[in-house]
Structures are given as C-alpha cells and as structure tokens.
Amino acid sequence: MSRAHGMIVLFGFMLSVTCMIAACGSDKSSNPTNQKPTIPASPSPVNDAMDVALGVQLTWQCSDPDGDALSYDVHFDTSQTPDIVSSSQASAAFSPQGLAYSTVYYWKIVARDEHGLEAAGPLWKFTTISTQPPTSLIAFTSGRDGNYEIYVMNSDGSDQHNVSNSPNSFDSGAKWSYDGTKIALGSNRDGNWEVYVMNADGSNQHNVSNSPASIDDGPAWSPDGTKIAFTSDRANGNEDIWVMNADGSNPQNLTPAGVFTDRHPSWSPDGTKITFSSHRDSDWEVYVMNADGSDQHNISNDHASTDYLSSFSPDGTKIVYVSNKSGKLQIHMMNADGSSQHAITNNGSSDNGSPSWSQDGAQIVFSRSFSGHVQIFVVNADGSNEHNVSNSGSDEYNPDWCRAE
C-alpha cells in the first residue's frame, strides 16, 4: 500500500469515528444518562372496576426522571390485546366513546419521552354498568305559569307538570332527596326566602327553616335523608353554609367566617363532604369541606375565572361545576381533588349553569340560555350529544336529576 493510499484510509476511518461520535451525541435516546419514563400507574377507574358509567374518563399517572415532556399512546378495546385509539397525546386522560352496557373493556398506556424512550403500563380492565337505567325524573324551575314554580319531567322531557302549584310565590332550587320521595326547595311565599319540603308529588308542603332571616335558600339533602344543607344569612346578614336536621331542628353554621359569601352546598355521595361556592378569595371558587365544616379548602384555584355551582358525581370521584374560563359560562368537570379540569360544554354564544348528574353518572343536566330563553339541556358526561329536553317558550332553570334507582 502506498503512503498516500494509507493516509486516505486512515482519514476515512477517523472521519467515520467522528461522525459516529457526533451522531451519538445528538441522540439522547442512546445516551445512558437519559432515563425512561416511569411505568404508567394509578389508573382510574381502578383495575377490575365494576359498574363503571358509560361516560367514564380514563386517567393515569406517569412522570419522567429527566423532566422530559411525555406523550401517550392509548390502547383501548374489548380485546385483551387492545388497539391504539389515540397516539402521542399530551394529556394523561382519555374519554372513550360509544361504550356498551355490561361489557368488559381492556386498556393500557405507553408513555414516551422527548427522545423516544418508552415505558409500557400493565393491561387494565373494567366492566360497565349492567343495564340501562329506567327513565328517571328531573325537577326544575319554570316560569311558564306567569310565576316561577317547581316542575317535574321524565329525563327525556316528557310529562312535564307543576308540582309546587303556589301561584302567588317564587319557588326555585328544587333538590331531590336521595330516595326520590321528597323535594326540598326555596320559596318566598312567607315574605322572605325559606326552605320548604314537600313530597315528590307536591303534597305536604311545609316550611322547615322557619327563620326571620332574609335568605334561607339553596337546599341540598344529605344522602341518608336526615339533614339538609342550605344557604342562610341568619347569623350576621352574611351568606354562610348551614346544616339542619330534615325537620328544621338543630341548625348549625358550617362556614362562620364573618364577611365571606358562601353558597350552593352539595353533598358527596357518602355524606362525608360538602362542596360549595365561596367568594372568600375575592373571586368565586369551588371549595370542599368535611360535613362538620372542618378542612375547608379551595379546589378550583383559578383566580382568573368564576368557578361555582358544583356537584359531586354519583361515585364521588368527579365534580361538575360552572366556569367562565373560556369567556362564557360553561359546564366544566374536574377530579374530586381539583385536578384534570376541563370543559364538557363549549357553546361560546350561550351561558350554561346548574349542572346535576344522572344517577348512573353517564349524563349531566344543566340550564342554557337558548333562543331568548333559558332551557334545560342534557349532555353525556364526555361532552357529546347535547340536547334540549324542556323545549318550551319560557325560562326553565335550576334542574336537579333524581338519583333514586
């Protein structure tokens, strides 16, 4: 070999090595200092969960040791080797569509960091609720009679009828007892706002708050039917969350903060917590506290928006509420700890309010300004299939879905 030829070979070898080093340095996936994401964990619903609502949202937890942004492939199917239904999504949440009753679904998550390293989670499964629930009832406030009355209708909008029948008063804010036998409401028929209770057919209407205060309103039944939470200004003219026995005895102030406005109580399905709206942070936020008033804390934590009118899901894992994050008041959903906040309605031209869950957690009823009036709408929990169920030429609002089976 000539000296010149040897120099060419040596130069080529060195150039190749240099290129390999440069390539390695530009690809962190082959750099042993880059670590894989953690294995996806903490699924919701939990593995082997039963009686899962058709409107379920899948969530999971995953992180990266290097702080890289992660993307996820979602595998979901009725097969034990589920196909990919969402690729490279940034969110650790997914809402499957078109679920069937009494069906086993399998799912798993593959996490990927910015450099292509992957971590595959285990195979999880859940079973949906066994049968479609029977047609249930929705109570709401209607102005169709020239004054505001409590109406009840089937959840498909049929058989709308007046159950309060108090033509000289303003009746609103109806709330079903969990067994479906009674309705609590706010009424000004005694000259000030009081909490009334009546049977589901409108019979035996009676005042249970019996206070000279200006406001006793916004009632909500405890799941066992023994207590009613409500809003009252009876202590110092400031609106607080109170609780009393169902017959009106033993009223207690749960939020005696002095100068803050607290409204709209709603119980968790196990009766241990109450969510409510508070203006104590100089804007409306969603708060949660224990049923005895302890451990009051802000879970919406968005001071750039109005967040209020909240309600626990039937399984206690989610909360729906009203927020104007997008400019107009829309129905939003979050986990019970305040995480994973997202809109489920997106009608930018109308305000929405007063969300309430169906008894199976698959749907949400709410009010919406529509064609010059406020109407009652129903939407699936994943935001699909919004439709008007009151369809009247009057204002209808404050719907509440009966949770009795």
pLDDT score, position 29: 46
Residue type (1 letter), 138:
I
* Residues in the chain, pLDDT under 50: 1-29
Identify the CATH number of the domain defined by range 41-128: 2.60.40.10
Q: Supply the DSSP symbol for 121.
A: P
DSSP letters spanning 177-189: -TTSSEEEEEE-T
Give CA–CA dist 180/401, Å, rounded. Answer: 10
3-class SS at 21?
helix
pLDDT of residue 134: 57
In angstroms, rounded to a whole number, what is the distance separating the alpha carbons of residues 310 and 288?
A: 10
3-state SS, residue 227: strand
Kindly give the pairing relationship between strand 206-207 and strand 216-221: unpaired
DSSP labels, 310-331: EEE-TTSSEEEEEE-TTSS-EE
240-245 and 171-176 beta bridge pairing = unpaired
The CATH superfamily holding the domain 137-401 is TolB, C-terminal domain (2.120.10.30)
CA distance 314 to 137: 16
Bridge partners, 240 (sequence order): 232
For residue 302, how many other CB atoms are within 10 A of its CB? Answer: 18
Phi first, then psi, for residue 74 (nearest 5°) are: -105, 120
pTM for the full predicted model: 0.69
> Tokens for 259?
């100068």
- Residue 56 has a pLDDT of 81
Cα separation, 387 vs 144, whole angstroms: 20
Say what the pLDDT of residue 149 is.
97
Distance, in Å, from the CA atom of 384 to the CA atom of 95, rounded to the nearest integer, reads 11
pLDDT of 148: 96
Q: What is the pLDDT of residue 169?
A: 94
Report the SS3 class of residue 359.
Answer: coil
CB 167 within 8 A of CB 144: no
Ranges of each domain in the chain: 41-128, 137-401
